[in-house]
Amino acid sequence: MIPAGRPTAAAAGDLPTGTGHAPCHHGELLQGVFLDGDGRRCAGLVTLPMAGPGSSAEFLRRPGTEPGALTVRPAGRTKAARAAALAVAHCAERTGQPPCGGELRLTGDVPVGLGMGSSTSDVIATVRAVADSYGRRLAPDTIARLAVRAELASDPLMLDARPALFAQREGRVLEVLGPALPPLVVVGCALGGGAPVDTLSLPVRPPAETADDDVRAYERLRTLLRRAVATGDVPLLGEVATASAWRGRQALGHPEFDALTSIARRAGAVGVQIAHSGSVAGVLFDPAAPGLRYRVRSCLRALDSHGIPATRTFTTSTSTSTKEIPDGPARGGGRRPAGPDTSRRPARLPAL
């Protein structure tokens, strides 16, 4: 029986402890149904990375306890709990140890229900923390498989900032589009007044039921996005994101969508993007465009006049992708204490 309270510092210091972190994202640039290398239809998406908010996890492993003896703080993070159990089983098998229980502590500031990958961020941070407690680092494809098993569909946050078309229900990359997205300035906002979206209530159409014309349209957008990434064509990227957002709003029914696209056009933006499973959205600007500050300010004023709350203005990273990590022992690492429990924010993002 695991004590309900946290162990003393001395006791905790005698137990293997691991830490992990995962970022969030700002909705999607493209989402739809695509063809894989074998011509099979797959649901897929390309997310818009965002630095800043994320989830951190600390896992205190208790060798000799039952595998199901897992406690999670804050309570209620059921997906993270499943991820911890799956990661323990995976790492125990790889290291030749019996699976065991432990204590998982999560902290983070990713708002829930806006379509920013809050649950996936928790899950990936958890998997990384469990692996770290075993002295291992897991490859992105391994993390992806565990994440999908834990929450049925996963965002590609284990890939960090690499733009990739990701099959979210299968946990695999359909295509890496390039090392990095073209630089963007994003004026974030929240549609629907920032009310959280219940993703479980959204209609899910199996890929096999998607019309042939729709699949061809998604494949065309995929080709255009590949070209935009390869050539650094920001206006073309904006065109793809807007077309994908227009298709996505049909399921979400955002009444402000027409106003958002009109604001973007008048402010000289290259397009808009939305979360296809939430209320977060963004107006996309080319950072090299003349009069950028004026354009952003006019966009913010227009959003305010239409009652669309602005959230966060940020730039996408222009750094190259992170290096692939194979499954195996970690090269190093240390322990760091987890911070105090942080409740999830229901809507508003932290502002820059």
Of 37-51, 229-243, 336-350, the least confident: 336-350
Instruction: Give Rg (Cα) of the chain.
Output: 21
CATH homologous superfamily of 9-329: GHMP kinase, C-terminal domain (3.30.70.890)
- Distance of alpha carbon 196 from alpha carbon 25, whole angstroms: 16
Q: What is the mean pLDDT of residues 196-222?
A: 82
Q: What integer pLDDT is reported at residue 194 of this predicted model? A: 64
> DSSP code of 39?
S
Among the listed residues 245, 279, 283, 248, the one whose alpha carbon sits nearest the alpha carbon of residue 267: 283
88 close to 67: Cβ distance less than 8 angstroms? yes
Token pair belonging to 6: 């946290």
- Distance of alpha carbon 122 from alpha carbon 155, whole angstroms: 11
pTM of the model: 0.85
Q: What is the pLDDT of residues 40-94, one digit of tens each?
A: 999 999 999 998 889 999 999 999 999 989 999 999 899 999 999 999 999 999 9
Binned at pLDDT 50, 70 and 90, residue 332 comes out as very low
Among the listed residues 157, 141, 176, 154, the one whose alpha carbon sits nearest the alpha carbon of residue 277: 154
Q: What integer pLDDT is reported at residue 257 of this predicted model? A: 93
> DSSP code of 327?
S
Q: What is the mean pLDDT of residues 107-117?
A: 89
Q: What is the pLDDT of residues 246-291, one digit of tens each?
A: 998 776 677 899 999 999 999 999 999 999 888 899 999 999 999 9
240 pLDDT higher than 90:
yes
**More confident position, 100 or 11:** 100
45 close to 165: Cβ distance less than 8 angstroms? yes
**More confident position, 346 or 141:** 141
- Distance of alpha carbon 201 from alpha carbon 74, whole angstroms: 24
Among the listed residues 312, 291, 284, the one whose alpha carbon sits nearest the alpha carbon of residue 228: 284
Average confidence score pLDDT of the chain: 86
Binned at pLDDT 50, 70 and 90, residue 15 comes out as confident
Q: What integer pLDDT is reported at residue 202 of this predicted model? A: 58
- Distance of alpha carbon 290 from alpha carbon 295, whole angstroms: 9
